[in-house]
Chains A and B, each alone.
Chain A
Amino acid sequence: MSLEKITQVTGRAVNVPGNDIDTDRIIPARFMKCVTFDGLGEYLFFDVRKNADGTDKPHPLNDPRFKGATILLSGANFGCGSSREHAPQAIQKYGFRAIVAENFAEIFFGNCTTLGIPCATASREDIAKISAAVEANPKLDVVLDVAKQEIRFGNQTVKASIRDTARDALVNGRWDAIGELLEGKPAVLQTAAKLPYLAA
């Protein structure tokens, strides 16, 4: 399986501020009643974006200036809570290609990487700088350079970090592990043969 080498993501950015934004908030459980991930994008952040009567609440994603943004900025512990892949799927289906936050919850980070969504961490100050810049000029192109671990916007450059294993997987087109895991089958069977509880 050959996958796209994700070395950088370029696009407009939008800031959804806040810490501990959990996957229930990213995609409320009632929208998980589905047997495919299609169409999840429209329910992204649903309860914080929509009133009960279906009208819009003030939310960065409802702000027409940020329409079409592909880089999502947020705070600390982004994606905590449930392991639902519906959350990164909704983010991706909505149109985001990368997330920059102060840090990420473990399972969410792994789920995103497997879908080819780079999750980069940056300092609070730097995230504030980027969001100030896009607030001033929503059309500004932001570049998340996965390989170089930096974010460039306007004439500024700030540091970003992406865990080695994830970065390697993204830039070398290995973010979906299935091909490599399948190749390991002989070794898998050998390891399994040593564990009595796995006997058929």
Chain B
Amino acid sequence: MAKSLFEKVWDAHAVRKLANGQTQLLIGTHLIHEVTSPQAFGMLRDLGLKVLMPHRTFATVDHIVPTDQLVEPFADPLADAMIKELRKNCQEFGITFFDRSTGKQGIVHIVGPEQGITQPGTTIACGDSHTSTHGAFGAIAFGIGTTQIRDVLATQTMALGKLKVRRINVDGKLRPGVYAKDVILHIIRTLGVNGGTGYAYEYAGSVFDRFSMEERMTVCNMSIEGGARVGYVNPDETTFKYLEGRPYSPKGQAWTQAVASWRSFASDPGCHYDDVVNIRAEDIAPTVTWGINPGQGISIEEKIPDPSAAQAVDEKASIEEALAYMKLKPGAPIKGTKIDVAFLGSCTNGRLSDFQEVAKYIKGKKVAPGVKAIAVPGSQGVAVLCESLGIDKVLREAGFEWRAAGCSMCLAMNPDKLVGDQLCASSSNRNFKGRQGSPTGRTLLMSPLMVAAAAVTGQVSDAREVFHVRDLPAAV
């Protein structure tokens, strides 16, 4: 019978049915970080349990690390305690830790793929909702809570109900200056922030076939923002090429076997989907959020919604709440909105190609006076690559601060924070109230090149105009 990748991976990892009807699912790869794991280790100790497969758990530190201070102890004693706790737990339980001294540290969702740990046909769990990122490789990757981290540590499994599968086809050709980030913002805007509840999203179509792994990761990353716990792309030559030669990728004979096996996990033609959505690539524009959830996005050419034009009472209330918080005027164009901060980075857009694309266009331009602009590579690996290509230099010359790897201002658990009601053009994934560290701080989500355009003009701008994108070779 024809099966989807989701079903194949699920079936290969299903251990048994539990009394309540859920499945005990084997988790092949477990990733942990400093924020959500310490309590899980605490629970493990309380119950007197061990880690069942320590060689299948990998740790890194990302959320709390300062990006401008490389020596310990960190200025923030709480952050310092957290990194030490993780170090201790990894040592005690025999878990590989990509600490800062290894040169492999970074945002957990960037490190996994970079090291070749993220592989097709596998199940992955991590105490972080953006674990869906790893689905770009044709893995089924779940964000989990701390109690489930305990379960995975102790049993290498978790209790889970099966998801439905929605296939999202994006066919055609993206217009120049339209990026993977715009694709996912468009999808979330179209299907809603809880449209994906109960579903795994399978992204497909000619746009995804052409996408690089980094672009696929950007889209899968934000599946959760559309309510889908899991998002994936079927593995293909692009996937295998990316993985070849990575530290944890199989080698020699094992590589050939692995590729054959990975290939077999791709969804079969004619398999059943619980839902299918078709999107035309040409309909997608550079997208910017104006509100307080990632579904509140518009194209750069559109106007900020007017609550009085809302169809439903609910919609009206949510527009009003968002505009009151964002201090934006209904009916005004989003273009021209003044910004205070520009943030390039995060597990959505903190990879080599993101900085490369910005560097290509920003060369010779300057960040507008009064705008604080920071660029934070997603991992030490990304930092080294960027630095070897001189990308850091181009960004610095343009007026960006070039920082050390981490989550940084994506959620501001480290010192990188908005102040007061600053407005930030951000390449990250969440624009919730207070997300970037100030209870009144405001976030506009957009692609890295749109962040760069906002940085150099000091206001929300159409990157295609600012950088004459049409004059250069197509960006994808």
Interface positions of A (Cβ within 8 A of B)? 18-20, 22, 24-25, 28-30, 32-37, 47-48, 52, 76-77, 80-86, 88-89, 103, 105-107, 110-111, 114-115, 163-166, 168-169, 172, 174, 176-178, 180-182, 184-185, 187-188, 191-192, 194-198, 200
Contact = CB atoms under 8 A, between A and B. Distances in A.
A52 B146 CA distance: 30
B76 interface: yes
A178 B154 contact: yes
B169 to A, nearest CB: 23
A29 to B, nearest CB: 5
A107 to B, nearest CB: 6
A37 B36 CA distance: 10
Interface stretch (B99-107, B299-307, B432-440): B432-440
Contacts of A48: 433
A83 B194 contact: no
A63 B258 CA distance: 60
Most-contacted residue by chain A among B26, B28, B224 (CB, 10 A): B26
Nearest to B146: A85
Contacts, number: 206
B442 to A, nearest CB: 13
A25 B440 CA distance: 12
A35 B13 contact: no
Given A36-B42, A164-B21, A168-B20, A181 B434 contact: no
Contact of A106 (B20, B198, B432): B198
B434 A47 contact: yes
B47 A178 contact: yes
B82 A33 contact: yes
Given A176-B147, A178-B150, A178-B154, A25 B433 contact: yes
B432 A178 contact: no
Those 8 A-B pairs whose CB atoms lie nearest each other, nearest first: A111-B145, A85-B145, A33-B78, A85-B146, A35-B38, A83-B129, A47-B439, A177-B159
B318 A191 contact: no
Contact of A107 (B21, B129, B154): B129
Contact of B159 (A25, A37, A47, A180): A180
B206 interface: no
Contacts of B148: 110-111, 114
Given A85-B36, A178-B150, A181-B155, 19 more contacts: A19-B317, A20-B193, A22-B293, A24-B435, A28-B434, A32-B35, A35-B81, A76-B314, A82-B129, A83-B36, A83-B131, A114-B148, A164-B21, A165-B21, A172-B20, A181-B158, A184-B16, A188-B157, A192-B156
A197 B20 contact: no
Contact of A184 (B24, B47, B119, B432): B24
Given A107-B144, A169-B20, A196-B257, A30 B26 contact: no
Nearest to A177: B159
B82 A182 contact: no
Contacts of A168: 19-21
B332 interface: no
Interface of B: 12-16, 18-22, 24, 26, 28-29, 35-36, 38-39, 42, 47, 49, 52-53, 55-56, 64, 76, 78-79, 81-82, 85, 119, 122, 127-129, 131, 143-148, 150-151, 154-159, 161, 193-194, 197-198, 224, 227, 229, 250, 254, 257-258, 261, 292-293, 314, 317-318, 321, 411-413, 430, 432-435, 437, 439
A29 B279 CA distance: 35
A184 B24 CA distance: 8
B12 A195 contact: yes
Contact of B39 (A35, A105, A188, A195): A35
A97 B145 CA distance: 18
14 contacts: A19-B318, A24-B411, A25-B433, A36-B42, A47-B439, A85-B147, A105-B197, A115-B147, A168-B20, A181-B155, A187-B15, A188-B15, A188-B156, A198-B28
Contacts of B439: 28, 47, 52
A132 to B, nearest CB: 17
B413 A106 contact: no
A184 B412 CA distance: 40
B157 A197 contact: no
B78 A83 contact: no
Contacts of A166: 20
Contacts of A165: 20-22, 161
A36 B147 contact: no
B39 A36 contact: yes
A177 B81 contact: no
A47 to B, nearest CB: 4
A105 B143 CA distance: 12
Contact of A29 (B254, B293, B411): B411
A159 B14 CA distance: 34
B194 A76 contact: yes
A194 B363 CA distance: 52
A181 B145 contact: no
Most-contacted residue by chain B among A80, A82, A83, A194 (CB, 10 A): A83
A86 B154 CA distance: 20
Contacts of A18: 321
A36 B38 contact: yes
Given A18-B321, A29-B412, A181-B154, A35 B82 contact: yes
Most-contacted residue by chain A among B20, B38, B292, B317 (CB, 10 A): B20
Contacts of B432: 22, 24-25, 81
B129 A196 contact: no
Contacts of B437: 29-30
Contact of B42 (A35, A188, A194): A35
Nearest to B117: A197
Contacts of B81: 35
A6 to B, nearest CB: 13
B418 to A, nearest CB: 12
Given A83-B143, A107-B129, A181 B24 contact: yes
